[in-house]
Amino acid sequence: MQVGIFTGYFPYSLEETARKIRALDFNTVQLDVSFKDMDLSTTGIDSQKAKTIRDTFRRYNLPVSCISGYTNLVHPDPDKRKANLEHLFQIIRYANELGSPYVISETGTYNAESDWVHDPKNKTDAGYAECRDIIGELVHFASSHGVTFCIETYVNNVIGSIEETLQLFADIDHPNLGLLMDPTNYFEEHNIGLMDLTINRIFDALADKIKIAHAKDVKLAASALGVALAEIDGDEAHALRGVGMIELPAPGLGSLNYDLYLKRLSKKHPNIPIVIEHLEEQDVPRAKRFLDERLAANGL
């Protein structure tokens, strides 16, 4: 298994970001299409910039394993949703030139205030159908560009449970739809005390859908958090540290059974990239040591 890191935890120029990540002895990155010295807005992304990004990371021996396209696919504001999807389509369009055929997003929520908060419409037939159809369009577009669109499930989004994930893959039975595996995203207050049972259920159901894996942690909060965001120079997805009674800290700082997670992950995916997240830059060396130690302890 190759241990990676999101580039977005290093808020610098392209060259400095690659240099800092290589100095920490990573083998791969999940690419956040954002650097201090480049215009990478929706209209700013082009072929030349994409290839420059890809080639820079390759020069530092940091192949791009996947690309962040995170956005709220079902934002209730039509203009915001349109902008979200236009940007995601643009990332898919240039994905291979950026260095990877895998583009990842969460499925989103109908909550107007936060991408991480539940909305009752998320769990309705109409909400699911609308989200499914949007994902279907993304998969079709991705396929035409030689790209696999991967969803990252999250309990407060439209696609959050094992059952909802299975339904989506049954409805969109297409080789260009994949799954980003992060077991922490399936935990809520009612099942966090059933750690091993839940991890095993996740992998029993979904192991064959996985393309890329993430490494963060999960634990029960002492009291309700609201939406907990760290103060970092980065987007909200990287700043998120928990919602409600569930904390989502960096790997090694929670109660996730990492040994079981890694064993189940490696059974069908022995060479998969696993990408560290939910931390500040200064905590990256500790988190990497933790993950390296767990991989070594399990012979992975």
**pTM listed for this prediction:** 0.97
| pLDDT score, position 30 | 98
The per-residue pLDDT for 201 is 98
Instruction: Check residue 229 and give its pLDDT.
Output: 86
Domains and CATH numbers, the chain: 2-216+255-297 (3.20.20.150)
User: Which residues are paired to 150 by β-bridges?
Assistant: 104, 178
Tell me how far apart the alpha carbons of residues 114 and 19 are, in angstroms, rounded to a whole number: 33
Select from 74, 153, 81 the least CA-distant residue to 111.
74
Residues of the chain with pLDDT under 50: none
Distance CA 260, CA 15 (A): 37
Contact 277, 235 (CB under 8 A): no
